[in-house]
Structure 1
């Protein structure tokens, strides 16, 4: 259907016209320079979902006063037609709002925008520009550069824009922008990894390819803003979400800015560095959720003094928060009110981590692996919601219970303990009684259960608490009596056995001393008996280090025989026997120690078997190889003791000095004397 507002409409003085399939029927197929010739005073025009597919030159030349144009949801029109002939016909001085959402066919290949494509748009006095859902993939360097400097808001949601290549140029080339909305990139199309690799490389082949297609003529690897001179930007709101690829946040270090809202969720920012959020003194909302963050510099948030809403859910902060040096990570956030740390694999939290956040009202630690909540709540006097749902919490320390009761004296407080591992025991009786008696509002308190040691669960009710209290009092005397009798019995048996076999003990002691003197050449005997030079003890997460580093260096280059679990264990045999046999048949046992190693029960078993073998054979068995620094406070006692007895080798962070590492390791493998005596 074609439509024409001819000369008969001139006397209507029509200023606003809406034609949309959203509110009625709109089947306009084509537009020409005669379509609006009878509406010279038209200022606002909406033609959404009208199936427009054909246009001619000078469509809007007859409506020079047009300030608002929305032609969204006409995917047959094509973005090139929208920013070309259609944009050319608009009066660049009067048009203020231009909406061109979903004017490209979603099944077409990605759209490339160049300076030539956007020359008519760049010449406009636009304040608001929307180009959502147009499959835009590639921007020429500085392609969108509004020469009149009046653009305030830009929306390019649901396209395929790579942050590091194109987004930064849009931001810095248009300092008048107040709001940039680039949410849901790659929502319906995930680019192949090899495409991203090519886009981020600066090799000559890819540059030439882009130049051939008139896409770019500059390197994207150079910083767009210099840290040596101040740059003024008007940006207040910025969103870029959904790429799921590595990005670095924009550098606002030397800018005069008033940015208060930033959403860069659903990307991949694995490491928050100290300069990522510098000079963002006005930022009150920050969303970093779903970014695979696993490392944070201790001073990353120093400048976020105005931050109120902080979303960090769905990341990997557990290890850093429990074992890293992040005691004061939230200390600068004096204005923080909402903090979400759900689904971060958090095992433990430092006691004073939130002590400085005195304005905190909402704290979400749900869906983690917390066994206890041992934090200082005395400073959190404004908190009204503490979400601990779906953890492994068994109890609260008494100090936390008292601290929460203090808060409830002057404000309402809600705590969510649904789906935790509360324990039914005499030792936990006071905590269970507190849950029932406290004035705190526990979400779904009636559904709370506790679990006995035999895995049976019961609802926490007043009747149950009374019964448990009686049982605890009843068996207290029995437990004390039984413990005393058992201790006496064990002491008697131990003394009797020692007395009965005292001569046998002395005999074997002296026989061992004589054997040691008679066998001065024990080293050669061990060399003949050992089938392997070294048994490698490691966690599955560190298999790549064994396969990619140790095996090529020690086996292939230096011709040592290594016993590697995945390759050399006997099929059908139990793990315990395989490990014991490997330790006994190997000259050395190398412990490949990492944070994963410390949590592996089989690695702990291997440590103990190797220690016993060293005692039995009276030789140096263990060599400790550290892949990363492990805080002493979180190291098992057995491993901490070995640091003083066994040789230690640290894998260097810089592989340029790896040769010294291998030389040291080989020396320890070759020396069969008891190193602890050296």
Structure 2
């Protein structure tokens, strides 16, 4: 069937359906409150108005619709002279109709006359005389007999183009000779009559004509009578038929073979033979499938389209269409095809469209489509295809579109590089990683879950539309190729599970390379958040669907800057920020769960003032909380009283910020001082020295020979020298402040050791005992500690300073009686382990050495943090 013929057929079918639908609507219009009886200046509408005769209408009327009334007779006087009338509908009267001679003479410019659906009790042979401009005559379902064809009812209708005589009681097609005069006639519909046979003699008046459409469908033509084709001959001799419809006549293989042989040589560009009984179907070996002889008689018909859908063909035999060398469209849909034999399409060198949808194919083999060098479109949807050999489509060089939707493919070892691929509705779990080129790929309703497959598809060159709805995308591998497709314009990812992948903080770059993407669908992906910057690179995006997810909030930067259309309905947005929608021209934000408090006031004000087109009715934007406002439209809410609350909220927020900043600064200062306390102490001492006079230099002279006697084990001398003497003793540095006494330098050689100790203790202001593990093992050191403790008791002062060095525990100190008594009653110092605390400790020790007078007794010892130990 040519495109024009197909359009004409669809127009005819749709025209009848629309007429009937219009009638039904207008029949019910009184119930809808719509008047069906009126005149608007050029159209008179009187449908279902209980009329019994034609009403008087002005001569300016161009359309007069009188269906669904009770008009019984039509004669010349029924109509006033309506020179401009072009359309008259008298169909579907609720009573039988009688039409007299020249009934429509007063309508000289009538173009369309519709009497369809009215049972015509009497029709005068001259009823249609006086209509020189009539182009379309509708007489379907009028109860007409053969007489309407034999008695010249249509003579003098020089402009008649379309004649519809379907659904009548015509049993013979003996056409009146006046049909030869109908030079404009292009379409005749004889379907759904009772015509058993048509031979050359009946259609002789149509010889020499070119018809765009001729229907003999649903007449049991040739199927219930015995036909002598030698006498019947070719009914379409010397005729050119763009479309011949012989569907529904119960033709098997034998009738089709005989018919094709009989019309051999007639020009039939499109043959429609749907709802036939050709083929063995499933399991009937006694019935025949078409073979190489079935359509052999059509070899010289120049046939372009053959429609043999809705039948029982089980096997496509070898060479079955070999004589149809000019065929471009072959429709085999809705048969029972399970097998395609070798060379089944042999001879179809010009075929462009092949439709084998809705059949029983289970496998496709490499040889199935041999002989189709020019095929551009193959429709294989709704079969049971589970496996395809890898070279099945490899050599179809002109293939443009392949439709494999709704089959049973679990895996596919190839993807042909063609512009359009339909693979939706299968069971695919993965895709082959092979080079591929396509403009359109449809893979919806499969079982793809690894986002590697999506990254692979986003690398396909020249891809413009990618449809992946209703898959299972949820797993994001660690390693994947970056997405990059400068040509992709539309991406459909609805009804997947991207939330499961994104919540692992992976595959957030899935849209990174799609700089030309204009439309993106992410509806029904269980999304409860949008990854930061996930749409950042979609600079060309104009439409975005986030419908039916679980989003509770949209943050600034979540939406593309140039977005124009947004569907975010069916989410859980509580208080959306209207500033996010500044770039939009249209949006749908219905069926969200709004919390109707003062935080929503800005959004409520925006909704009532915005110029953006918001889809849905006001009732679809309602409150969810509080309960007192549940279900109330936000359009009906008032924001009065929210300004004071907003001020209080702003004040609370300011106080919160102030408190937070203050607390943060305090914590930062505390942490800084703790971390860098040594440096802070040095700065403090420098500042003190600048502001106050050095107490050492200003102190009064006294009678003591030494400021302090350092008592320590000789094994600790090296550490004592580096840690204390170099920083305190004046003989080590003129910058130091103390004149210290210690055994290695100041004891008199040859003198009794006890005498030296006694002299050092009593001639020094303070005795500093550096208690280490070596100290506790040295008897002289313990003896010196006892002498210093005796002086404290004698003078009732704090002349003894005990410094614990290293990791000595309380247990070790309490083992020695003299030290135990001191530890229980006096405070002692501990050498710091952290180097930054050494300066502070030396300062503390210096203060203890310089301290005069009686010291107050303390119950517990001051223990400084220990970091450094003595070897």
- Larger helix percent: 1
Q: Flag the structure with more relative contact order, 1 or 2, with Cα contacts below 8 A and sequence separation at least 6.
A: 1
- Structure number with larger C-alpha Rg: 2
TM (normalized to structure 1)?
Answer: 0.49
